[in-house]
Each structure stands twice: as C-alpha cells, then as structure tokens.
Structure 1
Amino acid sequence: MSLANECGTDTPELAARRVWRRPFLKWAGGKYHQLPDIDRLIPAGLRLIEPFVGGGSVFINSDKHSSFLLADVNADLIHLYQMLAVAPDAVLRHARLLFGSLNSAEGYAAVADEFNAQLLGGPERAAAFLYLNRHCFNGLIRYNLAGKFNVGWGKYPNPYFPEKEIEAFTALAHNCVFMIAGYRRTLSLASEGDVVYCDPPYEPLPGTNGFTNYAPGGFNWDDQVALAECCVAAHQRGAAVVISNSSAPRITELYAQHGFTLHHVRARRSISSKSSTRETANDIVAVLGGMNSGK
C-alpha cells in the first residue's frame, strides 16, 4: 500500500495539482508553499489540533478533519480569529476603512499607536491587527519588551485586501475552537482520534541565528525538548502527531530518539529582506503514529 493510500490523502502528483487556499495573513514561517508535502503526511482524524496555528495555512486546507482546536500564544492573532468567527462583517468594515485611507507612513504609525494603546474595541482591534500585518515590513509579527508591536511600515504601494481569503476562513470557523495557550496546555487536550500538527519556531541551524522571539520569552532548546515530550505523551493517549522543524542535527536526533519517522521537505527561507539571500533548505517533518512509512 502506498503512503498516500495509507494516509487517506492525495498522491504526490494529485497534491501538486491541487488548488491550495492561501491564508489571509502574511506569516513568517508559514507553510503555504510546503502544503503539497506536509498535507500528505498529516493523517485523517476526527479533530486537528494546532498548538502553533500562526497564519493557518494547514488547517484552512484540511479536508481530513471535521473539527479544529487552534491555539497560539499570540493573543492578538487569536483575538482576530475569534472576532472573524463571531463578527466578520464588523471586522471587515473597519478593515476596509483602514486599508482604504491609511497606506502611508503617518497612517501606519497612527494605527500602530492606537493598537498599542489597548483602547480599541474588539472588532476595531482585530481590524487594526489585520491592517498592521498586511502593511508592515515582510508581514513580521514582533513585539518589544514592553509588549508593543514594533515592526516598521512596509512601504507597499497597494497592500492586498484579503477579502476572498477571509471568506474561506469564516466559512470554516464554525468548526473551530480558538484558544490563547502555549503548547503544553494545548497538547494536554489531545487524545484518541485527534491529529496534532506542530509548527514551532524552528531550531536554528548550526552557525545561524533563528527567528525564535515571536512571543515574550522566545522558544529555546528546552522548549524543543519539552515539545517533543508532550507530543509523545499525546501519542500515548491515542493521538497522531506531525511536527515541522529545521534539519538541525540535534533536532533530527531528538525526534529519532523519541521514535518519530523523519521526512525531508524542501523549503525556501523568506525572512531576509533581499530575495537574493532567501535560501532553499531541507526541513524535517517528523511523524508519530498514523502511518507506517519509511523516510
């Protein structure tokens, strides 16, 4: 039996031809361009759990799960998702106003100041976060030590308003539970019939500096180890687990020690501001349960 048939997914050829939905947010480390490789390694199940949902490329494209538990430590991200689930028209109305009249350095600074002042109502704050994400430099989400959003204006001439992508999101939102939570709490909820997909901050490759400070406290090696251990515990309770990460030697060793099957996928790095320095590298997709495949 082929890997695709075991997983109940498309063959690699069909996956490559499939039309994948784009997420409505720009997100550093997003998995949109790796979906043909990642989706086929995620088994079917009753519920998909993502402790690091980020921009949501994976869940928004899932046709193998009937419900979703989507978590992240970024409260602004989860707030936006929750507001779009319950009041999409209000969020879109406010967002259109911001996109339509404030694409300038001054307008961007004004929105960022209001956002950081914590005085906006629910839909307005969600719309401001969407605006900042689409107008800031490279779509980066970064906060200073005081918890203030501090990414500069991206100077884009006409930032795209992702209305079509938001409509696809809201059509699926009634099947989702959104939660502000770390990976330990989220993974403690995984049990029989669940499928877990983890996309943590990547372990830096030797000799490089990784982007691991997307939230206060960052994500260090102790977190990588704890995440693997929490995933093993979830698997022991009956969940299948899939993790994406870099191919750093100690990551591959860590996952191999815990019994994961390792798959290599190609990825184009996109944090650099210069396209000439955006490199292609091998990533790891580690699988525990749900299939009996080789590397």
Structure 2
Amino acid sequence: MSVDDGAPIETEIIPATRTWQRPFLKWAGGKYKQLSDLDRLIPPGQRLIEPFVGGGSVFINSDKHERYLLADVNGDLINLYQMLAVVPDEVTRHARLMFGRLNNADGYAAVADEFNEQMLAGPERAAAFLYLNRHCYNGLIRYNRAGKFNVGWNKNTKPYFPAAEIEAFTALAHNCVFMNAGYRRTLSLAGEGDVVYCDPPYEPLPGTNGFTSYAPGGFRWDDQVALAESCVAAHQRGATVVISNSSAPRITELYTQHGFTLHHVRARRAISSKSSTRETANDIVAVLGGMNSGK
C-alpha cells in the first residue's frame, strides 16, 4: 500500500533466518550487513539489474532472479568480474602468487605501480585489483584525478585469501552479464520483468563529508537527480526499482517527489578506521513499483 505523505516506513529488524554468502571483495558501502532488510524489499523478477554492482553482496545472495545484468563505472572492477567468469583459474593463480610473495610494503608498492602504469594483461590486472583490494587500507577503492589508484597498504602481512568466496561467485557467473557502464546506459536497458537495485554513492548528510570517488569524476547532486529520473523512466517501461541511499533531507524529498515508497533501515558505517566513529545510521531504501507501491 502506498504512503501518501512520503514519510519513510520504519522497517522492523528481524534476525536473519538464512546464512548469507560473503563477497570476495571488501567494499566501502557494501550491503552484506543489510541483506536481511534488502531481501524483504527487493522483489522477485526475471532479471536483476545493478547499475552500481560494487562488491556484489546483493546479487551473490539473490535466489529470486534467473539472470543478472551487473554494471559499474569502475572498469577495473568489471574486468575482475569478467576475467573470473571466463578464466577463473588463471586469475586465482596470479592472485595466489601475489598474496604469497608480496605481503609487505615494497611488494604492495610494486603491484600498485604496475597496476597504475597499465603494465598488466587482463587476468593479471584482475588479480592485481583483487590483491590491492585485500591489501589496501580498509579495502578502500579510490582514484586520484589522474585516474591512479592511491590507497596505502594496510600493513597486514597475512591477509585472508577469499578462495571460497571466489568459488561461490564463479558458480553464479554463467548467469551474469558484466558491463563497464554508467547508470544512465545501464538503466536504459531495464524494462518489463526486470528488477533494478541501485546502490549509488550516498548523498552526504548535512554537515558531513561523503565518499563519492569510487571512480574518477565522483558522484554529485546532479547525478542523484538524474539517477532518480532514470529510475522513473525504467519503471515506466515496466521495471521495479529499489534504491539505497542516506537519509539526507534532500534525498528524502527527491524520492518522495518521484513517487517512491520510502523505508528506513539501520546501518553501521564502516569507512572509519576507528570503531568509536562507526555509528549506526538510518539509511533509506526507496521502492518504485511492485507490491511496495500498491501496484
């Protein structure tokens, strides 16, 4: 049933009744800890489309969809996914060598330099991206204005190698199409029978600085508006749309104006290195279409 005044619905936190598969990547803003809530709000459909696939927690744990269109503006991320889908043993072999021999500051610097100088072929570059992700500070993927990866080493000399998580990913990859594309192009492909889940860089809350630099160019307010409009167009073509974002007042207003039903879910921020500053916040999950809109 629709909410006429646009006020967010407080979603009840219910203990998970299933075990969730962890993704093999660390990812700022990843949704692993919100899967119980998202699972209740993302409806079934023929195809799940994610324009901001990121670490992939949502699609890896989906049992409601037959096929997946998974996109991201980060070309290194999509290369890793594509290489693991096609030549997983080769990527894993290169990655194990890096994990086994280069777990120190000099090794990290060497891999980062080769990565930034575009000196590696597809499978090796994919392995290097995995290595950097698991060895860098807080698993943070960040690029400077020149498009160079610029996150420091996390000083962990014995990082976890996510073999089981990679195996779970590759078991699902044959049902997936991976695309290096922005949200406009990806959403233009959504239509009847599709379910769209968007997890864009969050709009910063008033008085805070948000992290929006997963790829060169960042994600600005104009993008938040264009994303909402693109989602409305996808819904008009028959897709159901679900978006996660912060509870920033202008995000609430934007989604309400476009007819979304809003739900509040609680989330623990994990981008800070200090546990004392990892606070619980209310995020918004906005739904357009399906049973949540009364249609």
2:201 matched to which residue of 1?
A: 201
CA contact (8 A) 2:143 2:150 kept: yes
Residue aligned with 1:66, SS: strand
Identity percentage of aligned residues: 85
Aligned pairs for 1:21-100 within 5 A: 21-100=21-100
The alignment of Structure 1 onto Structure 2 pairs a total of residues equal to 284
Stretches of structure 1 lacking an aligned partner (at least 5 in a row): 2-10
Alignment of 1:119-134 (within 5 A): 119-134=119-134
Cross-structure match for 1:187:
187
Q: Is the 8 A contact 1:52 1:70 kept in 2?
A: yes
- TM-score normalised to structure 1 length: 0.94
| Equivalence map 1:110-259=2 (5 Å) | 110-259=110-259
SS in 2 for 1:33: helix
User: What CA deviation, in whole Å up to 9, does each residue of 1:267-294 have, x standing for no partner?
Assistant: 0011111111111100000000111369
Amino acid paired to 1:92? T
The one-letter amino acid of 1:202's match is Y
RMSD, aligned α-carbons: 1.4
Secondary structure, aligned partner of 1:43: coil
Structure 1: 4+ residue segments shifted above 4 A:
none
Aligned partners of 1:245 and 1:32: how far apart in 2? 15
Q: Give the Cα–Cα distance (whole angstroms) in 1 for the partners of residues 20 and 292 of structure 2.
A: 26
State the distance in 2 between where 1:169 and 1:219 align: 28
Q: Which one-letter code corresponds to 1:45 in the other structure?
A: G
Partner of residue 269, structure 2: 269
Q: Is the contact between residue 201 and residue 212 of structure 1 (CA under 8 Å) also seen in structure 2?
A: yes
In the alignment, is the contact (CA less than 8 A) between 2:104 and 2:157 conserved in 1?
no
- 1:266 partner letter: R
Give the structure, 1 or 2, with the largest relative contact order (CA under 8 Å, sep 6 or more). Answer: 2
TM-score by length of 2: 0.94
Q: Is the 1:37–1:265 contact (alpha carbons within 8 Å) kept by the matching residues of 2?
A: yes
Q: Are 1:43 and 1:195, in contact at CA under 8 Å, matched by a contact in 2?
A: yes
* Partner AA of 1:161 in structure 2: F
